[in-house]
A and B are shown apart, each in its own frame.
Chain A
Amino acid sequence: MRVRSSIAIALATAFATAVPAQGVRISGVTSVQSIDVRPLVNDSVAAATVSGTEAWRTLPSGIPAFCGVDEYCRWKRSGSRVNLVPVLQDLSVAAWGLGQGISVQAQVRARSQLTSGDITWPRADDHFDVLMAYVEADRGIGRLRLGRQWTSSGLGVFDFDGLSFRREQGHGMLEVFGGWSLLAGTDERTNSALFGAVDDLPADDAGLLFGARGRYRPTANSSVAGVYQRTMAANRSQLYSERAALDASVRLGLATLDASLVNNIASGEWEEVRLRAATTSARPWSLMAEARRHLPFFELWTIWGAFSPVGYDEARTVLTYRAPRGSATAGLHGGYRKYRETDAGLDLRTNGWRAGADVSWQPRAHWSAGANYDVDVGFGASSSDATASLRWLASSDAFLGVQGSALQNIYEFRVGTGRVVGLAADGAIRLTPDVRLSFDAGLYRNTGSNGLAVTDWSQRRASLRLEWTAGGDPGARGRATP
């Protein structure tokens, strides 16, 4: 069903494209990766050989193990190395001039994995997707789109198969949209087998999404936008979500203020309240400060919303210095978040903070260097990592770079801690104005932590990407045609 609908959309788009167009532009990205992974496997030892009587014991090697099920103590460890070679092929098609203001946009993706075995790279077993495919008519009265498309607003990014109409008038804009709702990032309907493969309780029915959003610019320096969106089961027996958002932005002299409000109408809770102030980047020094109250969102066809998730309050700031000609920059950033009361369970960390610094320097036209250090200490996992890199720009069409990195992950809910050092290289060369080849390769070694690394993150990674474009280009490269 899923493949059939994807093929139907692709064929419909292809049919529309078959009408003689003034211009067609096709671009593609072929990506091949080689990645070493070491999946976690279960291991066990006779409980009698491990000292202690508790359910949780520590093995002589220092590894914590669970001994409460049967006569064995069990734990997870990294299994043998497996090499995965996923292949991804993206194709984008834009055809225009099919009639006054009529164009076609499509983006399809094919996936495969060159290696066989039980381990698959995420979604490599899903061989074909139509990410986007719609016919657009842009006339004076407004813009109409029909097909697979997506809308972005203060509520996020939502995919759907359906219809949207947008009209702009003066300083205002209004758009209405509706159709079959698709799972974010998957382009599958809510009740698809894709979700059923990883959860025993998929949605009972596909979702229908409809909504409206508008924007108005009171002045040249301000804008306000609102959106209302409702998703329900196709048989209209259930409401999946009902939300609204209001976003505003105003520029006051050298500062920009942004505000966001998101209300979950279904649950009656405010999901997002955000205020951000930032100085314009026209000065060497720039500062951004943000206060935010966040609550996660779950659609009602899952049970997660009934588990009373709590959110957090967060303050963040970023200070940046940029040399007048941009040859050097430096930045500091930090943030603190505090989780709200959960009324559940024993104590856990209820706050988190992060801080970091980064610099970049371009001493010569063909050389650039950068470094950064970040710490993120929080609930669930913490890490610190540092990176330094050097890049040689052989020309505007080619570069070569090297990067060294070191990171340490400390998991509260861990299978182990990890300290990883890595060395990577990357590069790219434009073979013709429309063909570009790029690569990266890295070697990462898990050096362990406290002499114990249950999860081994040692790996080799490499990727090769070929990007190409064919067909007309309405100004995309800025080359005028006499």
Chain B
Amino acid sequence: MITHLTSRVLRVAGALLFPFVLAAQGTTGFPHADHAPLFPSCTGCHAGVVAGDPATAFPGAAQCRACHDGKEHEVVAFAGRSTRSSGTLRFSHTVHIAKAAAGNDTVTCASCHARQAGAAWMDIARATPERCIGCHQHRATAHLADGNACATCHRPLTDVTGLTDADIARLPKPPSHARTDFLTAHAPGSDRASASCATCHARESCARCHANSARVPVISALKSDARVARLVAGKAPTYPTPADHERNGYAEAHGRAALENVARCANCHAQASCQTCHTGTGARKQIALLPSAREAAGRGVQLRRPVDQASPLSSVIPATRTPAATSWVPAPHAGDSARRTVRVHRDGFVRTHGEGAAADPTSCQGCHAQRFCADCHKGEKVTRRYHQANFVSRHSTAAYGRGTDCSTCHSTEVFCRSCHNSMGVGTGRGGIRGVGFHNAQPQWMFQHGRAARQDLGNCVSCHQQRDCQQCHSQLGWRINPHGPGFDAERLGGKNKAMCLRCHFKDPLLGR
């Protein structure tokens, strides 16, 4: 009985010794196969594996010299081998040996270390994860497979002090990490998953990108590691575009998403991201919930406010004809992963924003200071944002058709008239007796009344009040300009001076 047990323990221990044996080969490698005829068991050299004693897990130099004494066999240079780190592996030889010894397992040294099934005695190779899974298939279908509980076999990286920076950099990358949707859905959903992350990652791994790394419990739970910190230092963060961000109109809808779950935004965005556009007071409460610049420490998606050149065609064709919602442009800064230009407002917004601004002015002030509006609404175009090139030769149609309201930005009675006078179109001080402009309308004098009532604003861009008074006043030919519905009492009651510009005396007296 004792013999049987001893034999079994020896066989198991011998098999389990092989990792250490392989490691002991060092740079020269111990030629196990050459010694196969000499050694009947593994424990002859690796007794410490069975006992759990690292000091005797490998043979010493003296054991080699027993044969390699220079007489019977040549002397070999072997000074003994210190115990090799088992890496992140949580594996215990003694536990397996004990289970086997108790009859609860059939594992032997060869189960893990034989080069292949049916290999000759001492034809060995390093144990691989696949060998583990060969027996423990109920725990993982494959090494690095989705859903594996890494912590079953591995210790957290931060607890493994024996690995160098280079060792950590060489850790294998699970296939799941290469999936296109991995970055947008990699948050661990359970403690088990978190422990799996910790096998290869430290807090610095997450903090490289996460602006809110200090606020996320699963990140805070990770330990810090100087080796990982060195590896990620200077490495640009990666920010994928979530699927919902790809949708048209997301720029308009993102406010609601931020209200519903600002913590999600905070994964990638610090306050600075929002403040790129939200330069006003709007949304400041929600923005304040995001990590500050100090907390984010420079991380977070970095945006640039789009200017003319980032929006295709916007300078050549007015913004109303710049329908591209999004466009791909080169990364604004080296290392940035954000490469998208987003148009916030719908097509044609530049011509229709007045109503929105009137109904809900705070929305505008969320992003725009008043000086932004002044760029367009102050009379002259400093930057070409509204009118297309050569607009001067097209503007008459736009003015007559009222496709836009010129007076929104221009004083038609000053801006338009002064230019028209300068260019010889207006009447200047010459009154209506100048000739030329309406020369294609031989009956113009009989038609101008209708034209004037239909679009007096255009008349005013050339004619001054005196021009009309030459006929339409008591100073002139006393032709009544008032229409059938003219409410003299009402207007006269509001401004009598207006009446007296054409009437010698108050026309309402006696009424």
Contact A457–B440 (Cβ < 8 Å): no
The verdict on B466 contacting chain A, using a C-beta distance below 8 Å, is yes
**Shortest distance between the CB of B66 and any CB in chain A (Å):** 64
Chain B neighbourhood of A310, CB < 8 A = 453-454, 483
Determine the chain A residues whose CB is within 8 A of the CB of B248 once the complex forms: 281-284, 322, 324, 326
A346 close to chain B: CB less than 8 A = yes
The yes or no answer to A255 lying at the interface (CB within 8 A) is no
Task: Tell me whether B439 and A309 are in contact (CB under 8 A).
Answer: no
Q: Once the chains bind, are A444 and B390 in contact (CB under 8 Å)?
A: yes
Partner of A381, one of B347, B400, B446, B453: B400
Q: Which residues of A contact B348 (CB under 8 A)?
A: 288, 318, 333
**Cβ–Cβ contact B296 & A480, under 8 A:** yes
| Interface membership of A240, Cβ < 8 A | yes
Q: How far, in whole Å, are A430 and B310 apart by their CA atoms in the complex?
A: 11
A132 contacts across to B, CB distance below 8 A: 370-371, 374
Q: Are B359 and A326 in contact (CB under 8 A)?
A: no
Q: Distance in Å from the Cβ of B280 to the closest Cβ of chain A?
A: 11
Taken residue by residue from 369 to 411, chain B's Cβ proximity to chain A (1 for < 8 Å, 0 otherwise) reads as: 1110110011110111000111001101111111100011111
Chain A 320-361 interface residues, beta-carbon cutoff 8 Å to B: 320, 322, 324-327, 329-331, 333, 337, 339, 342-348, 350, 352, 354, 358, 360
Residues of A within 8 A of B253 (CB): 282
Most chain A CB within 10 A, of B298, B408, B421, B422, is at B422
Contact A376 B403 (CB under 8 A): yes
Q: Which of A227, A350, A370 has the most CB of B within 10 A?
A: A370
Contacts of B451 in A (CB 8 A): 345, 348, 379-380, 413
Using CB atoms, name the residue of chain A closest to B376. A157
A239 contacts B440, C-beta separation under 8 Å: no
Question: Does A480 lie within 8 Å of B272, measured CB to CB?
Answer: yes
* Given A66-B435, A153-B358, CB of A305 within 8 Å of CB of B498: yes
User: What's the Cα separation between A242 and B103 when bound, in Å?
Assistant: 101
- Name the residue on B nearest A157 (C-beta): B377
B308: CB under 8 A from chain A?
Answer: yes
Interface hits, B83-136 → A, CB 8 Å: none
**Which residue of A187, A360, A385 contacts B322 across the interface (Cβ within 8 Å)?**
A360
Q: For the complex, is A170 an interface residue (Cβ under 8 Å from B)?
A: no
Interface membership of A289, Cβ < 8 A: no
Q: How far is the CB of B291 from chain A (nearest CB, A)?
A: 9
Candidates A65, A320, A480; contact of B323 at CB < 8 Å: A320
Residue among A105, A310, A444 with the most chain B CB within 10 A? A310
Q: Which B residues touch A436, using CB under 8 A?
A: 307, 309
With A153-B358, A412-B440: A360-B323 Cβ-Cβ less than 8 Å: yes
Contact of A354 among B310, B323, B328, B401 (CB under 8 A): B401
- Whether the pair B448, A69 counts as a contact (CB closer than 8 A) is no
A296 to chain B, nearest CB (A): 5
B355 touches A350 (CB 8 A): no
- Cα of A186 to Cα of B449 in the assembled complex, Å: 29
Question: Chain A nearest CB: distance from B486 CB in Å?
Answer: 5
A368–B434 Cα gap in the complex (Å)?
49
Q: Are A276 and B355 interface neighbours, CB within 8 A?
A: yes
Residue in contact with A280 in the complex, picked from B252, B304, B378, B502, CB distance below 8 Å: B252
Asked if B389 and A405 make an inter-chain contact with CB atoms under 8 angstroms apart, the answer reads: yes
B225 within 8 A of A: no
Q: Looking across the interface, which residue of chain B has its beta carbon closest to that of A314?
A: B402
CB distance from B110 to the nearest CB of A (A): 57
Q: Does B273 sit at the interface, judged by CB under 8 A?
A: yes
Q: Which residues of chain A are within 8 angstroms of B494 by Cβ–Cβ distance?
A: 239, 242, 266, 300
* In the complex, B456 has a CB within 8 A of chain A: yes
- Complex CA–CA separation, A225 to B355 (angstroms): 10
**Which of the 9-residue segments B1-9, B27-35, B182-190, B312-320 touches chain A?**
B312-320
Residues of A near B453 (CB, < 8 A) are 307-310, 342-344
Do A428 and B309 touch (CB < 8 A)? Answer: yes
Contact of B272 with A475 in the complex, beta carbons under 8 Å:
yes
Chain B 58-102 interface 0/1 with A at a Cβ cutoff of 8 Å (1 = within): 000000000000000000000000000000000000000000000
Q: Quick one: given A320-B347, A474-B279, are A329 and B324 in contact (CB under 8 Å)?
A: yes
* B191 beta carbon closer than 8 Å to chain A: no
B469 near A403 (CB under 8 angstroms)?
Answer: no
A223 within 8 A of B: yes
When C-beta atoms are compared, the residue in chain A nearest to B308 turns out to be A428
Pair B466/A201 contact, Cβ less than 8 Å:
yes
Do A40 and B436 touch (CB < 8 A)? yes
Least distance between B346 CB and chain A CB atoms (Å): 4
A69-B435 contact given A280-B249, A307-B472, CB 8 Å threshold: yes
Identify the closest chain B residue to A168 (Cβ).
B362
Asked whether A461 is an interface residue with its Cβ less than 8 Å from the other chain, the reply is yes
Q: CA A41 – CA B419 in complex, angstroms? A: 14
Which of A304, A378, A401 is in CB contact (< 8 Å) with B400?
A378
User: Which partner residue on chain A sits nearest B410 by CB separation?
Assistant: A185
Q: Is the CB of B393 within 8 A of A444?
A: yes
B294 within 8 A of A: yes
B422 touches A119 (CB 8 A): yes
Assembled-state Cα–Cα distance A384/B300 (Å): 48
B-chain residues with CB within 8 Å of residue A313 when the two chains form the complex = none
The answer to whether A322 and B325 touch across the interface, beta carbons within 8 angstroms, is yes
Q: Which residues on the B side are within 8 Å of A79 (C-beta)?
A: 424
By the criterion CB–CB under 8 Å, are A267 and B491 in contact?
yes
Q: Does A131 contact B (CB under 8 A)?
A: yes
CB-CB under 8 A from A29, the residues of chain B are 382-383
A71 to B248, CA, bound (A): 68
Nearest CB to that of B490 among chain A residues?
Answer: A268
Give the CA-CA distance A428 to B439 in the complex, in Å.
Answer: 43
Q: How far is the CA of A54 from the CA of B439 in the complex (A)?
A: 13
The answer to whether A378 and B401 touch (CB under 8 A), given A224-B359, A480-B270, is yes
Is B440 touching A411 in the complex (CB atoms < 8 A)?
Answer: yes
A306 on interface, CB distance cutoff 8 Å: yes
Whether the pair B442, A64 counts as a contact (CB closer than 8 A) is yes
If A183-B414, A247-B355 touch, whether A348 touches B308 (CB-CB below 8 Å) is: no
Closest A residue by C-beta to B499: A306
Q: Which residues of B contact A398 (CB under 8 A)?
A: 309
- Would you call B458 and A380 a contact (CB within 8 A)? yes
The reply on B360 being an interface residue by CB < 8 A is yes
* Chain A 151-184: CB-based contact to B (< 8 A → 1; otherwise 0): 0111011000000000010000100000000011
Interface pair B444/A413, CB less than 8 Å apart: yes
Distance between Cα atoms of A75 and B416 in the complex (Å): 22
Query: Which residues on the B side are within 8 Å of A6 (C-beta)?
Result: none
Knowing A37-B423, A360-B313, A383-B397 are in contact, say whether A200-B466 is a contact too (CB < 8 A).
yes
B495 pairs with A239, CB closer than 8 A = yes
Residues on B with beta carbons closer than 8 Å to the beta carbon of A283: 248-249
Which residues of chain A are within 8 angstroms of B170 by Cβ–Cβ distance?
none
Per-residue CB contact flags for chain A residues 282-305 toward chain B (1 = under 8 Å, else 0) read: 111010100000101010111111
Query: A118 — which chain B residues lie within 8 A by C-beta?
Result: 422
B437 at the interface (CB under 8 A from A): yes
Are the C-beta atoms of A198 and B355 separated by less than 8 Å? no
Residue among B302, B310, B329 with the highest chain A CB neighbour number at 10 A: B329
A415 and B436 contact, Cβ closer than 8 Å, known pairs A379-B451, A393-B329: yes
Which one, A224, A342, A366, contacts B454 given CB within 8 A? A342
Contact assessment for A40 and B450 in the assembled complex, using a CB-CB cutoff below 8 Å: no
Give the distance in Å from the alpha carbon of A92 to the alpha carbon of B374 in the complex.
Answer: 10
- CA of A442 to CA of B391 in the docked complex: distance in angstroms? 12
Contact with B441, one of A40, A247, A305, A412 (Cβ below 8 angstroms): A412
User: 3 nearest interchain CB pairs?
Assistant: A308-B483, A475-B275, A76-B436
5 contacts between A and B (CB under 8 A): A107-B374, A281-B325, A308-B481, A378-B397, A461-B390
- A sample of 20 more A-B contacts (CB under 8 A), given A322-B324, A326-B325, is A42-B436, A109-B378, A119-B423, A154-B359, A197-B418, A238-B497, A239-B494, A266-B494, A303-B498, A307-B456, A320-B323, A322-B323, A342-B450, A343-B483, A376-B401, A379-B400, A379-B455, A415-B425, A480-B270, A480-B300
